[in-house]
Amino acid sequence: MAGIIVDKDYICRDYATEIFMISPNRTYNTLLALVTVWCIAIVAAPLLAAGGEVSGPAGSLLYEGFSRICHQIDARSFHIAGEKLGVCVRCSSIYFGFLATLIAIPFIVSPNRLRTPSIQWLFLALAPMIVDVLSYNLGIQSSPVMARLVTGILAGAILPLYIVPSLLEAVGQIKMSLYKAGGFYARKTQ
């Protein structure tokens, strides 16, 4: 733009603070909002479906969407208002476990200070679910609801500890490279 002199280095120095100190929280909040919407959709599917002709089509659409990622077997799902949730017990546990940890993180540590734990904890938390799935499919045990619930929550709850730090760092890096390239963030400073 004519008449405006922009010291790009200065902008980078000045806004690096904003990008790496404030933005991680925005990214975290966005992630939290998206996961919350996802979990609400799981619960909304039966409530809408139970609404009859008025909200039924919306419920069917949600069921249709979730059917791509879950078997949705009625007998393997929790029920609300006489209808099954959008996904089965195991999937629900994973998603709600994921959401619970996301909600808990800011009460324990600032999201941008969260560090990825040792990888062995991830395998340790996933192992019970894998054992439950395999032993059920081999006919060794019947995989009761409680087993699916507990192992699912455990698996879902551990995942944010590995995903959130990488995600916040990645978004920060992408934003930095965007304004270094003179994109949106450089224009914002003018």
Partner 1 sequence: MPEKPNKQRAVLLGGLVIGSLWGIPFVNMINCCCCAGILLGGIMASYLYREEFVEGMPPFESSDALITGLLAGIVGALVATFISNLIHLAFGPVGAEVMKDIIEKVLQRLEEQGSIPTGMYDEMLEQLEREINKPLTLYEVLKDLLFSVIILPIFGMLGGLLGFAIFGKKKTAQPA
Binding site for partner 1 (CB under 8 A): 64-65, 68-71, 73-76, 90-91, 94-95, 116, 119, 122, 129, 133, 142, 159, 162-163, 165-167, 169-171, 173-174, 177
Measure the CA angle with vertex 20, ends 96 and 157; round to 5°: 15
Closest distance of CB 161 from partner 1, Å: 9
Nearer to partner 1, 75 or 138 (CB): 75
Nearer to partner 1, 76 or 106 (CB): 76
Name residue, tokens 């975290």: 28
Name residue, tokens 């909200």: 55
Report CA Rg, the chain.
22
Closest distance of CB 40 from partner 1, Å: 16
DSSP 10-58: HHHHHHHHIIIIIHHHHHHHHHHHHHHHHHHHHHHHHHHHTTTTTTHHH
Nearer to partner 1, 68 or 113 (CB): 68
Closest distance of CB 176 from partner 1, Å: 9
